[in-house]
């Protein structure tokens, strides 16, 4: 207990001694966390939206003839041979007619006199719900087109491709901002710790001479790094929450954002982000200690 | 039932210790020396004789080029860096260059030695005031060390060295900047510690300190211990084979 009280006192003294660079580091860490978490928030919400839209994601394979049960089994086998799917439904001509009639509702009388088998039979393929399925869906469609008796394969090609491109872009941005976060937290913290080490070089030498343990000397610097990470990430997350509230308020009302789920991180995710940023800062201070503190 | 291990009767034991600084400066040559628990020893010799080097070897600020150094039962040479605090907590050293933190107060400079061994704040304050009173520095409690005269800085360095009541006190020219009265105060403090059982090695070339002393006086000359049979300040070569232990007079 007394050890930690002493360590805390030394840490506070260090931080006050180099308060200008401490402020710069905190600002940089906060900004890096804000940039990373902002894009990550958009990405994670896009994933949710993708999952919602996935409910409607299906490939409709129109056939020239209504397949008999053995042929249905053959189609099923060939589809499963290409990829795992959530489910496969066969829609006969009459079933297709009934669906169409249901869709028309009050206007279904336009179908009067139209034969009930005028619509083609089809197979509805529901891919497994994942983002990878989005990337594979075009290849899947091309494959289904090659099956015998297939007239046409239909799916929401345009939106899927755009959505997938957006997700890919977000992934790249997240990787870049994540790299920025890692670099700033580790390098900036390492730099600040290095400044503190130089500023206190005389005192550290003296501490060693009067019998301080290695932990007694090192721990304040590790704690300094941890505090920089924790406070910096906390400020970054706070700023993100403010930004999130501003966005949701700004787009509340008629905008499309109200129709789509746009939610903030849950508490475990918030703590995980702060924890990771803290850990990165500790790594930064540890590397500075290893390089510049010769005990 | 095993009896408690008794503390070693020999506090400092140097066997055939030599120290060469690069490229080829022979600071100390084949010194063998034993200091018993509770002994007060004066280490004398001209400037450059090797007094400071010898103290630095005892406190493991330096490693010898060859030989063995044993301090308070610790093999100083084999002591790993991570355990060096075990030795330093037993040894209080007043450095010739004081090693004070000029931006910190006198009290802070003394307290630092007690903080590293986790003494309570109240004890640290009490002990600091007590030491400052003994060394006539009471009014300087809150003064920054950089604002003190050299004599005052020297006394602060001594106060820090003895603050923890260490088993061994090494003092390197502790009265070099002091007047006669303050020298008397410092020596009184050292003798008080010695009476309490501490082992003291005082490196000095101030003859007045050990002129009529009942304690052992060891003279270093050109990095070697001078033979007791040799006339002082003759500049003659010491008997290399015989480790010298001046008897108490």
Question: Would the CB atoms of B115 and A6 count as touching at under 8 Å?
Answer: yes
B88 to chain A: closest CA residue: A211
Q: How far apart are CA A187 and CA A63, in angstroms?
A: 61
Local structure of residue A108 (DSSP, 8 states): G
Q: Based on the domain organization, do B160 and B172 belong to the same domain? A: no
Q: How far apart are CA A66 and CA B64, in angstroms?
A: 97
Which residue has 């082992």 as its token pair? B199
The mean per-residue pLDDT over the stretch B102-127 comes to 94
Continuous segment of H or E residues that includes residue B2: none
How many percent of chain B have pLDDT more than 90? Answer: 67
Angstrom distances, CA of residue A280 to CA of A23, A41, A100, A189: 18, 20, 58, 9
Nearest to A2 among B93, B118, B160 (CB): B118
Question: Would the CB atoms of A208 and B82 count as touching at under 8 Å?
Answer: no
Count CB-CB contacts under 10 A for residue A66.
19
3-state secondary structure B185-246: HHHHHHHHHHHCCCEEEEECCCHHHHCCCCCEEEEEECCEECCCCCCCCCCCCCCCCCCCCC
Give the gap in angstroms from C-alpha A294 to the nearest C-alpha of chain B.
11
pLDDT score of B234: 41
Q: Based on the domain organization, do B9 and B83 belong to the same domain? A: yes
The yes-or-no verdict on residue A249 having pLDDT over 60 is yes
The mean per-residue pLDDT over the stretch B84-88 comes to 94
Nearest to A206 among B85, B112, B164 (CB): B112
Question: Would the CB atoms of A211 and B113 count as touching at under 8 Å?
Answer: yes
B84 to chain A: closest CA residue: A211
ipTM of this model? 0.84
Q: Based on the domain organization, do B107 and B132 belong to the same domain? A: yes
pLDDT score of B248: 38
Q: Based on the domain organization, do B74 and B6 belong to the same domain? A: yes
Give the gap in angstroms from C-alpha A212 to the nearest C-alpha of chain B.
5
Count CB-CB contacts under 10 A for residue A247.
15
Q: Based on the domain organization, do B131 and B185 belong to the same domain? A: no
The mean per-residue pLDDT over the stretch B129-138 comes to 93
Mean pLDDT is lowest, of A17-21, B93-97, B208-212, B235-239, for B235-239
Residues of B within 8 A of A209 (CB-CB) are 59, 61, 88, 93, 95, 99
pLDDT in tens, B225-234: 875 545 444 4
Q: How far apart are CA A128 and CA A136, in angstroms?
A: 11
A10 to chain B: closest CA residue: B115
Q: Give the SS3 label for residue B95.
A: coil
Residues of A within 8 A of B95 (CB-CB) are 209
A2 to chain B: closest CA residue: B118
CB B8 within 8 A of CB B44: no
Residues 6+ apart with CB under 8 A from A151: A62, A63, A64, A120
The yes-or-no verdict on residue B244 having pLDDT over 50 is no
pLDDT score of A29: 92
Residue B1 lies in a domain: yes
**Is B117 an 8 Å CB contact of chain A?**
yes
Q: How far apart are CA B29 and CA B43, in angstroms?
A: 16
How many percent of chain A have pLDDT more than 90? Answer: 32
Confidence of residue A254 (pLDDT cuts 50, 70, 90): low
Q: Which of B157, B208, B150 is nearest to B184 (CA)?
A: B208
pLDDT score of A85: 80
Question: Would the CB atoms of A209 and B59 count as touching at under 8 Å?
Answer: yes
pLDDT score of A258: 56
| Tally: H helices and E strands in chain B | 7, 10
Give the gap in angstroms from C-alpha A11 to the nearest C-alpha of chain B.
14
Mean pLDDT of chain B: 86
CB B168 within 8 A of CB B12: yes
**Is B113 an 8 Å CB contact of chain A?**
yes
pLDDT in tens, A41-58: 999 888 877 776 666 677
pLDDT in tens, B171-205: 999 988 888 888 988 899 999 999 999 999 999 98
Q: How far apart are CA A253 and CA A259, in angstroms?
A: 10
Nearest to A295 among B61, B81, B116 (CB): B81
Residues of B within 8 A of A212 (CB-CB) are 85, 116
Question: Would the CB atoms of A210 and B160 count as touching at under 8 Å?
Answer: yes
Question: Would the CB atoms of A214 and B61 count as touching at under 8 Å?
Answer: no
Question: Would the CB atoms of B116 and A202 count as touching at under 8 Å?
Answer: no
Which residue has 């030394």 as its token pair? A10
3-state helix, strand, coil in chain A (%, to 5): 75, 10, 20
CB B168 within 8 A of CB B92: yes
pLDDT score of B180: 87
Question: How many inter-chain contacts (A to B, CB under 8 Å) are there?
Answer: 44
Residue B49 lies in a domain: yes
- Residue A153's beta-bridge partner residues? A61
pLDDT score of B249: 31
CB A176 within 8 A of CB A271: no
The yes-or-no verdict on residue A99 having pLDDT over 70 is yes
pLDDT score of B230: 52
Residue-range definition of the domain harbouring residue B70: 1-90+167-227
Confidence of residue B246 (pLDDT cuts 50, 70, 90): very low
Question: Would the CB atoms of B118 and A6 count as touching at under 8 Å?
Answer: yes
Q: Based on the domain organization, do B86 and B110 belong to the same domain? A: no
Give the gap in angstroms from C-alpha A232 to the nearest C-alpha of chain B.
30
Question: Would the CB atoms of A205 and B99 count as touching at under 8 Å?
Answer: yes
pLDDT in tens, A129-179: 665 656 677 788 888 888 888 888 887 667 777 877 888 898 999 999 999
Give the gap in angstroms from C-alpha A273 to the nearest C-alpha of chain B.
34
pLDDT score of A56: 65
pLDDT score of A18: 83
The yes-or-no verdict on residue B235 having pLDDT over 50 is no
Residues shown for chain A: 295
pLDDT score of B5: 58
Q: Based on the domain organization, do B132 and B199 belong to the same domain? A: no
Domain definitions of chain A by residue range: 2-52+162-292, 58-155
Q: Please tell me the total count of domains within chain B.
A: 2
Continuous segment of H or E residues that includes residue A136: helix A131-145
Query: What's B192's domain CATH number?
Result: 3.40.50.300
Q: Based on the domain organization, do B171 and B214 belong to the same domain? A: yes
Overall CATH class of domain A58-155: alpha beta
pLDDT score of A13: 85
């Amino acid at each position: 207990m007394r050890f930690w009280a002493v360590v805390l006192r030394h840490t506070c003294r260090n931080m006050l001694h180099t308060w200008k660079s401490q402020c710069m580091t905190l600002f940089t860490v906060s900004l890096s966390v804000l940039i990373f978490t902002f894009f990550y928030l958009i990405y994670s919400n896009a994933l949710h939206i993708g999952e919602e839209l996935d409910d409607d994601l299906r490939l409709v394979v129109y056939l020239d003839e209504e397949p008999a049960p053995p042929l249905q089994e053959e189609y099923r086998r060939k589809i499963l041979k290409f990829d795992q799917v959530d489910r496969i439904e066969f829609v006969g001509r009459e079933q297709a007619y009934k669906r169409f009639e249901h869709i028309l509702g009050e206007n279904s009388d336009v179908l009067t006199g139209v034969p009930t088998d005028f619509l083609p039979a089809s197979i509805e393929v529901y891919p497994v719900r994942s983002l990878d399925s989005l990337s594979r869906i075009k290849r899947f469609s091309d494959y289904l087109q090659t099956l015998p008796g297939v007239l046409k394969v239909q799916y929401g090609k345009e939106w899927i491709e755009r959505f997938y491109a957006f997700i890919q872009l977000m992934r790249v941005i997240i990787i870049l901002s994540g790299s920025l976060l890692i670099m700033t937290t580790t390098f900036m913290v390492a730099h600040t710790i290095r400044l503190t080490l130089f500023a206190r070089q005389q005192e550290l030498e003296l501490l060693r001479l009067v019998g301080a343990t290695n932990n007694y000397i090192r721990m304040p610097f590790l704690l300094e790094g941890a505090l920089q990470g924790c406070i910096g990430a906390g400020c970054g997350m706070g700023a993100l929450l403010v930004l999130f509230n501003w966005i949701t308020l700004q787009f509340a009302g008629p905008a499309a954002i109200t129709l789509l789920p746009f939610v903030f991180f849950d508490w475990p995710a918030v703590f995980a982000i702060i924890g990771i940023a803290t850990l990165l800062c500790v790594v930064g201070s540890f590397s500075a200690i290893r390089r510049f503190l010769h005990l | 039932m095993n009896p408690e291990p008794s503390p070693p009767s020999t506090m400092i034991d140097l066997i055939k210790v030599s120290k060469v600084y690069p490229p080829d400066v022979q600071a100390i040559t084949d010194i063998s020396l034993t200091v018993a628990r509770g002994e007060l020893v004066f280490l004398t010799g001209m400037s450059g004789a090797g007094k400071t080097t010898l103290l630095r070897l005892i406190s493991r600020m330096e490693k010898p080029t060859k030989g063995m150094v044993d301090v308070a039962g610790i093999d100083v040479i084999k002591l790993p860096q991570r355990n060096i605090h075990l030795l330093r907590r037993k040894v209080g050293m007043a450095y010739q260059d004081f090693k004070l933190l000029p931006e910190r107060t006198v009290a802070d400079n003394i307290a630092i030695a007690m903080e590293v061994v986790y003494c309570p704040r109240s004890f640290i304050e009490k002990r600091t005031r007590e030491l400052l009173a003994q060394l006539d520095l009471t009014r300087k409690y809150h003064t920054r060390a950089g604002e003190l005269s050299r004599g005052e800085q020297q006394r602060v360095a001594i106060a820090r060295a003895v603050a923890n009541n260490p088993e061994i006190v090494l003092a390197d020219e502790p009265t070099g900047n002091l007047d006669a009265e303050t020298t008397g105060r410092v020596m009184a403090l050292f003798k008080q510690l010695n009476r309490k059982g501490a082992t003291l090695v005082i490196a000095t070339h101030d003859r007045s300190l050990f002129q009529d002393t009942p304690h052992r006086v060891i003279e270093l000359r050109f990095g070697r211990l001078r033979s007791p049979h040799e006339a002082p300040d003759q500049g003659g070569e010491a008997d290399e084979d015989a480790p010298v232990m001046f008897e108490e007079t």
